[in-house]
Structure 1
């Protein structure tokens, strides 16, 4: 072979379908229409692995399930946020007036407005809020984008340190380097790859096991810890649990799960889901086809299978979350776990 010919290395990526297991199915009129495969891991309240399916040690892009780590980093870098503002910093919110008020409050506290946000412009995800905005002559804005709380918190951290703000989403920016350090410390893993998330901020590839470990460490952290990292982690986790409406929206699945089960729930785009119970048991799921509903029902079922949730509570959570599949304007099936 000529020295000038190079064999290309395979692209870095997540686990392959051959290493995945069936986690959930979508059933329509008694017919299994879709089968959703993936990987998952459950950690007990002591942080030890109690259940694993598929390949939870391969890398995933955690997407919005990384937001609580980013919020810990922003607060650790000096962002002064009250509990509700802290909750919105972890949110994939619906863009209601209440959500937007929190985001504007963070920005106003540092003398900025929505024009400083580097997330894309969007319309509110909440239908009522979207229709009201359009009737009033409004238009898409970064402040309505579901990640605007995270971005506002990042700007607050930049303002506290005198860091530049026009480039705060650049992976080389001091803030993003700090976020990377926090993610590594909470997950116990070195970052293997950096990608660009849908909102424009960096997202770091970690394993599902590392993701679960990081969420578990937040769930079990104490605000009286001698270490600032864990004090901040406990503050972020408590703020989200105490204000579940802020991290998503009234009636939306993650908020419903938190209100029903009393723990923590956070989905990420493209089939990622994390949950922790009140006593710290934690699950992380990745569904290969990117179905977030499949990841959510799987997470609940896996916690029950591991004994971290009683089966009645899990069934109630799935019912309240509304996993029905419509046909002709009426329910004709549902997304259901198979684990």
Structure 2
């Protein structure tokens, strides 16, 4: 096993105060590793970074077409959203179209990350609902697929037809049998894969425009939805939204909990996956920005890039005291 390598550095004045280690892989459209840092075979949970894989059966089954889902809804199916009004109004409308309500979700309630939505609940002395959950769009997709299949209500159970379809899609695009699964924060199964397997899956999405089979066409739809609606995939102030906007629809990116980040780069037919071993989001955001700069698809001078790859650290008096820096080795690209 190859040890993790530096991914992000935390400097205070002229002293390296902290160091985040991790693994990263870039794969091409043949599934081959183009470049790797650390251990490509490190086994991980992709967490929410794989939502576009979990949404594949929604499209390949014919459910998306049968229910007339829009690109906005497909973007929400791939989202980890902030729970802002632009997210929750669309989720609630989707539920209504299905003839369902908040009680049909199995994701659990979550206080919105969006400040305005969160404060509105506090001022009204109300508790958050399940539609506020950052995964509620994905769960709308699960519910749509479950209805289309005529399956039962417990769609997050591992033996439910929805999750059997998700596992089949997951193993197809990673090109490996998953050795196991854990339960994600939203109660859905999350299948284990190697980092190389996750990067291979992203490259499969990135090269889908070269193929004309039904699964590849579904992948094209999902990538197009993500890049067309970056505000729905995450939200204002979030790395996924701001980086996709900075790349003007050329690349789809998606974060996952515990320091996972992926990128789909169609113009280069490349897939990127990384994992920070200590789970720090500040490090995964710095690392993915550096890798995208190295690949020549993200402007190093764009404010969204600087905000992630080299943000200034300030104290409570707003005095500049240090900086987060992506590790230099990541910026060489491939």
Scaled by the length of structure 2, the TM-score of the pair is 0.89
For the residues of structure 1 that align with 2:165 and 2:29, how far apart are their CA atoms? Answer: 28
State the partner residue of 2:283: 294
Q: Which stretch shifts more, 210-219 or 38-47?
A: 38-47
The superposition leaves residues 256-315 of structure 1 with CA deviations (integer Å, 9 ceiling, x where unpaired) of 01000231111100010111335133211001000122012112223444xx216x7134
Residues 169-202 of structure 1: per-residue CA shift (max 9 Å, x gap): 1111111010000011111111111111111000
Distance 1:170 1:152 in 2: 15
Given that residues 42 and 303 in structure 1 are in contact (C-alpha distance below 8 angstroms), is that contact kept between their aligned partners in structure 2? no
Report the counterpart of residue 249 of structure 1 in structure 2.
Answer: 235
Q: Secondary structure of 1:183's partner?
A: helix
The whole-number CA distance in structure 1 between the counterparts of 2:313 and 2:108 is: 31
C-alpha distance 106-211 of structure 1, shift in aligned 2 (>3 A): same
Partner of 1:171: 158
Give the length in aligned residue pairs: 318
> Hey, what's the Cα distance between the residues in 2 that align with 1:329 and 1:261?
33
Aligned partner (choices 113, 121, 125) of residue 137 of structure 1: 125
Query: Following the alignment from structure 1 to structure 2, what is the Cα–Cα distance between the partners of residues 147 and 221?
Result: 25
User: Does the 8 Å CA contact 2:107/2:187 hold for their aligned counterparts?
Assistant: yes
Structure 2 partner of 1:207: 194
Unaligned runs of 5+ in 1: 1-14
Aligned to 1:11: none
TM-score (norm 1): 0.88
Which residue number corresponds to residue 121 of structure 1? 109
Q: Where in structure 2 are there 5+ consecutive unaligned residues?
A: 330-334
Q: Is the 8 Å Cα contact of residues 25 and 35 (structure 2) preserved in structure 1?
A: yes
Q: How far, CA to CA, are the matches of 2:18 and 2:117 in structure 1?
A: 32
Counterpart for residue 153 of structure 1: 141
The answer for the alignment partner of 1:195 in structure 2 is 182
Partner of 1:4: none
Partner residue, 1:5: none
CA pair 315-285 structure 1, distance change in 2 beyond 3 A: farther
Describe the SS at the equivalent of 1:19.
Answer: coil
